[in-house]
Amino acid sequence: MTNPTQITAEAGRPFVDIVREFDAPIAAVFRAHTDPELFAQWTGPEQLSVDVKVFDAVTGGQWHYVSTDPAGGTYGFRGVFHTVEHEALIIQTFEFDGAPGQVSMSVARFEETPTGTRISTHTVFPSIESRDGMVATGMEHGATESYRRLEALLERDSVHSA
Amino acid sequence: MALADPVRRAIVARLSLSDATVNELAAPFGITKQAVSRHIQVLESAGLITRSRDAQRRPCHLEPAALETLTEWIDALRLETERRHRRLDAVLTTLQEKHHR
């Protein structure tokens, strides 16, 4: 079973809030965010290989990774861990090499729940344009397209069966 | 998100038929004209609707291209976040299996 992801991104405000629960103890969830080998296994856009160059998940530490797409295109991302509180909080900055100066900051809170761990992330972008553009960055472009095709297909089906 | 609110979705749906003034948009809802104006401001700042400056009635106009952009953006975010979380689920499952061995 997959837990739902709650995403709030209001128009006119350069924030994104994401809340998600994981069916694993807080120690494991936090480790997956701070151990570079584990982090590389799940971060980054789909089908892009991730090469973690630097990943020092401590207060004041730096991080840097490079994603490579199947065509050989590379996308570099870097930032600093502003604050890391063990199994509680990670505040970090995020910058895409392709958009220098557009630095976002995210505050991720880790909380134990009866069934596992909840992560609540609040991200602040330098502008609304930056927020909207960041999502498209390094994205597998075909994904949106195929998703839209699927949506169109589902819509058509529901019209037919109505 | 501009379209998270049911009143704003209804306003967008109404404007997809034709341009309308604030009074016309407020009519079907049991809320004040001021409240509708606030919703219109949100939609306007998101670039989803524009208002003509010439006429006194200042009708609202839906920008379909902007709507598509917003939908794509939020869909892309949802899709990528969901995938990322599922990959993390898989990593966590592996971690716990190792732990229990």
CA-based end-to-end distance of chain B: 45
How far is Cα A17 from Cα A72, in angstroms, rounded to an integer? 32
pLDDT tens for residues A95-136? 988 778 889 999 999 999 999 999 999 999 998 877 776 665
Residue A123 lies in a domain: yes
B88 with B40, same domain: the answer is no
Which of B2, B89, B91 is closest, CB to CB, to A2?
Answer: B89
Residue A160 lies in a domain: no
Task: Output the tens digit of pLDDT for each of chain A's 162 residues.
Answer: 567 788 887 777 889 888 989 989 999 999 999 999 989 888 866 667 889 999 999 999 999 999 887 777 788 899 999 999 999 999 999 998 877 888 999 999 999 999 999 999 999 999 887 777 666 543 433 334 433 444 444 444 444 333
Q: Are A81 and A97 in contact (CB under 8 A)?
A: no
Q: Which helix (H) or strand (E) holds A154?
A: helix A141-161
Hey, is B41 helix, strand or coil?
Answer: helix
Q: Touching check for B79 and chain A: CB below 8 Å?
A: yes
B10 with B48, same domain: the answer is yes
Q: Into how many domains does chain B fold?
A: 2
Q: What is the identity of the amino acid at B2?
A: A
User: Do A143 and B76 make contact, defined as CB atoms within 8 angstroms?
Assistant: yes
Q: Touching check for B73 and chain A: CB below 8 Å?
A: yes
**In the A/B pair of chains, how many CB contacts fall below 8 A?**
97
CA-based end-to-end distance of chain A: 29
**Rounded mean pLDDT of chain B?**
79
Q: What is the CATH number of the domain that holds A43?
A: 3.30.530.20
Q: B63 contacts in A (CB within 8 Å)?
A: none
ipTM (interface predicted TM): 0.73
Which residues contact residue A157 at a Cβ distance below 8 angstroms, ignoring those fewer than 6 apart?
Answer: none
B5 with B16, same domain: the answer is yes
Q: What is the CATH number of the domain that holds B3?
A: 1.10.10.10
pTM here is: 0.65
- Closest to B8 in 3D by CA, of B51, B41, B34: B41
